[in-house]
Structure formats: structure tokens, C-alpha cells
């Protein structure tokens, strides 16, 4: 296809212009004619178009406004259909990318990879984020966790097994289109098999699991290619305020079909844990991999729900009693397993608290990563930190360290 860009950066958005404009503005600074930026806007009105187009005359920016009532997955899907790149990636309107993403893609193509996944070392809390526990101490802050630059080539089936053992808690090293780079033809293969690109209530996890069912060769690099942004009205921002919890009826942004076939192994309320769990199950069913669901770790999921969502304990315990079996040995095994995961989850929670305390102490002495106005400043800060650490991405050999 003549003039076809190598990479489409797709941004589905809705009523979040305060994040979208800085995000798009900074993406325009990526010096490559081989990238297109696709904004699919499902906002209630078309105010974003004038603001975006006034930023710069940028021929590779494609803005589409759709006033139809869309689910989150439909917004993602139409954004993909409006793009033309050989490879695609999705980001949220409050996220950012490492400008080296073009060098990373060049390397991936040289390696003959179907997909490329970076680590989640870089995250940014927008200034409007107010944590229930830490207030505004992390607001405007870029956090960069340790990374090594190491490249591994995961076995997709092993990553699915890991995902099942943790009931969908985290992406592990799954290939993914959200905060990952995927060859378009594999997205099309998911659609041909499942009838949708995103066979689950949320696009990110459902597509990642579906891709893992068909992807042949991909790389995971312990190097930040994306910045996970947390605006106050995003899922991450809601999590910071301890509000990442809805009833199924009060979450219209999810596909009604996905909600209607909600798994009977998952408590019927919406939170990060239950949504990702359902994503894993529905994606495997849609891709004809139902036989793997036997490895789904229900007890792990129930323990996390009891720790983090106590007001739904009746729903969760009803489900535990339903699946624990009737014989004494089965009940004893379930009780021991639940207790183990319950204590493990609390240990992880304590570890997260200590990590955040360390994060605060570390950032107090690193003003480059603090008081950042928006995602554009966070992207600039990431670039500075990488250079200070002597890291760079070489399009010939991948992530490197100069010294």
C-alpha cells in the first residue's frame, strides 16, 4: 500500500479533552513521517476537533468524531478501522509514549516480530489526581521503576497459563495492542475468529489474551516504551481514589453483550479484578480455547475481592461456598488455598505501601520528575532520565546502555 504508515497510534477518547490535547500535541513532535495518529472521539460534542486542528498542520493526524452511543470496545474498534498502519498501538488519552517507539518498531521489523511489548516501568499521575491515602503527594509526578533493557521471547501459551493462575490479575508478558505494538494482520485474525477485536468487557485484557492464542513470535523488552497516565477520571485515577468499583447496571461503557454472558465463576460486580477475570474467560471462549479455562484460579480472585471490596463480600462468599464442593477434603483444600491467597494479597498490599513510601522519598530528591504539568512534560522527563541512565534504543540491536 503506497504511503502506508508503519505505525498507527490510536487514541479512543470520550469527554476528556483536558488530557487529549496535551497528549496529541506531544505526539506530533515525533519526527517521523512513518507514523499516523488516529483520534476516535466519542465525546458528547465536537469541541475537540477545533482544538486539535489548531495545534499544527499535521497531515498524519486523523480525527474522527462519532456522536453515536458507543461502548468502550466499540470506540476502540472504530478507531482501529479508521487507521491504516502496518502495525498498531492503542494508548489512552492520558497516556504517553517514549519517542524511541519508532526505533523500537524498526528493530521489531528487522527481527521479524509479530508484536512487541515493553515493560510498565513508567507511570504518570496527572495534577488532578487525588489519592485517598496519599492526597496530592503523587500529583504531577512521573515514576520510573527499575528496568534492565533485557529482551526475552515469551511462549504465548505459558503467558496464558500465568494469566489463568492469577485470574487475569495483570498482563504478565502477554502480547497486547494497548501499550504494545501488534502487526495489524493479527488483529484481523482475532476478528475473523471471534467476530470482534475485543472479546470481553474491556478492550485491553480481552484483546491481549485473544492475541496470545494466535501470535507466533514476539518480544518482551524490559524497557519503557509507554507512559501509563492516570487522570482523575480514568480507571487509574478512580483506583487512586478507591472508587474503581461499579455495579454491572451502572457501567454503560462496557459492551452489553459481554455483561450478558458474564461468567458464573466471577462475582457480579465491576472492578479491575472481576473485569479482567471475565476478559480472560470470554476471550478464551471466543478464540476456541475453552479447554484452558480449567486452569482459571477462582480462589485467587475471590481472595482479592474479599481484601479490596469488602462491601461485596456477600456476593463473593456466596460464590466461594458454591464452588468449594460438598466433601470435607474439598472444603479443606479450598479453605487452605483461600487463606494462603488472602494473606498473600495483604502482603502485596503492604509491599505496595512500602513502595509508595520509597517512591515519595526518592522523588523528593528528583525534581525533574515532580510538578509536571501534563503528559507532554512527562514524556520529556522520561527522555531526560533515560539519557541520564545512559539508556537508548538502537534500531539495529534493541535497547542498549551506552556505558
Q: What pLDDT shows up at residue 258?
A: 77
Q: What pLDDT shows up at residue 369?
A: 72
pTM over 0.95: no
CA–CA distance, 196 with 158 (Å, rounded to integer):
24
Tens of pLDDT along the chain (403 residues)? Answer: 457 899 999 999 999 999 999 999 899 888 677 899 999 999 887 666 667 666 656 778 898 989 888 989 999 999 999 999 999 999 999 999 998 999 999 999 999 999 999 999 999 999 999 877 777 888 999 999 889 999 999 999 999 999 999 999 988 899 999 999 999 999 999 999 999 999 999 999 999 999 999 999 999 999 999 999 999 876 544 444 445 556 666 666 667 777 788 999 999 988 989 999 999 999 999 999 999 999 999 999 999 999 999 999 999 999 998 888 788 888 999 999 999 999 999 999 998 888 777 766 665 445 447 789 999 999 999 999 999 889 999 998 899 987 6
Q: What pLDDT shows up at residue 3?
A: 72
Amino acid at each position: 500500500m503506497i504511503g502506508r504508515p508503519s505505525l498507527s497510534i490510536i487514541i479512543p477518547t470520550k469527554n476528556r479533552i483536558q488530557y487529549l490535547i496535551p497528549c496529541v500535541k506531544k505526539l506530533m513532535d515525533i519526527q517521523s513521517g512513518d507514523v499516523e495518529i488516529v483520534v476516535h472521539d466519542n465525546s458528547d460534542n465536537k469541541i475537540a476537533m477545533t482544538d486539535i486542528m489548531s495545534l499544527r498542520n499535521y497531515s498524519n493526524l486523523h480525527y474522527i468524531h462519532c456522536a453515536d452511543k458507543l461502548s468502550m470496545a466499540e470506540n476502540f474498534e472504530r478507531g482501529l478501522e479508521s487507521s491504516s498502519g502496518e502495525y498498531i498501538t492503542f494508548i489512552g488519552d492520558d497516556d504517553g509514549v517514549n519517542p524511541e517507539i519508532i526505533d523500537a518498531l524498526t528493530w521489531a521489523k528487522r527481527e521479524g516480530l509479530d508484536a512487541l511489548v515493553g515493560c510498565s516501568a513508567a507511570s504518570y499521575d496527572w495534577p488532578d489526581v487525588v489519592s485517598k491515602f496519599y492526597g496530592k503527594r503523587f500529583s504531577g509526578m512521573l515514576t520510573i521503576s527499575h528496568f534492565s533493557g533485557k529482551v526475552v521471547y515469551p511462549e504465548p501459551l505459558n503467558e496464558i497459563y500465568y494469566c489463568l493462575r492469577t485470574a487475569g490479575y495483570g498482563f504478565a508478558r502477554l502480547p497486547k495492542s494497548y501499550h504494545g505494538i501488534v502487526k495489524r494482520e493479527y488483529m484481523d485474525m482475532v476478528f475473523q475468529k471471534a467476530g470482534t477485536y475485543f472479546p470481553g468487557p474491556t478492550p485491553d485484557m480481552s484483546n491481549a489474551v485473544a492475541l496470545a492464542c494466535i501470535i507466533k513470535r514476539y518480544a518482551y523488552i524490559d524497557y519503557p516504551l509507554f507512559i501509563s497516565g492516570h487522570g482523575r477520571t480514568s480507571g487509574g485515577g478512580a483506583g487512586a481514589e478507591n472508587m474503581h468499583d461499579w455495579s454491572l447496571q451502572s457501567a454503560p461503557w462496557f459492551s452489553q453483550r459481554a455483561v450478558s454472558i458474564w461468567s458464573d465463576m466471577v462475582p457480579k460486580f465491576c472492578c479491575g479484578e472481576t473485569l479482567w477475570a471475565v476478559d480472560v474467560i470470554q476471550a478464551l471462549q471466543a478464540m476456541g480455547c475453552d479447554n484452558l479455562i480449567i486452569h482459571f484460579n477462582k480462589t485467587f480472585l475471590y481472595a482479592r475481592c474479599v481484601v479490596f471490596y469488602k462491601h461485596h463480600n456477600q456476593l463473593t462468599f456466596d460464590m466461594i461456598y458454591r464452588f468449594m464442593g460438598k466433601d470435607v477434603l474439598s472444603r479443606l483444600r479450598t479453605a487452605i488455598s483461600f487463606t494462603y491467597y488472602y494473606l498473600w494479597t495483604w502482603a502485596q498490599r503492604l509491599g505496595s505501601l512500602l513502595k509508595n513510601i520509597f517512591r515519595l522519598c526518592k522523588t523528593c530528591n528528583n525534581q525533574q520528575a515532580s510538578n509536571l504539568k501534563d503528559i507532554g512534560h512527562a514524556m520529556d522527563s522520561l527522555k531526560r532520565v533515560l539519557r541520564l541512565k545512559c539508556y537508548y534504543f538502537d534500531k539495529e540491536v534493541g535497547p542498549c546502555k551506552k556505558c
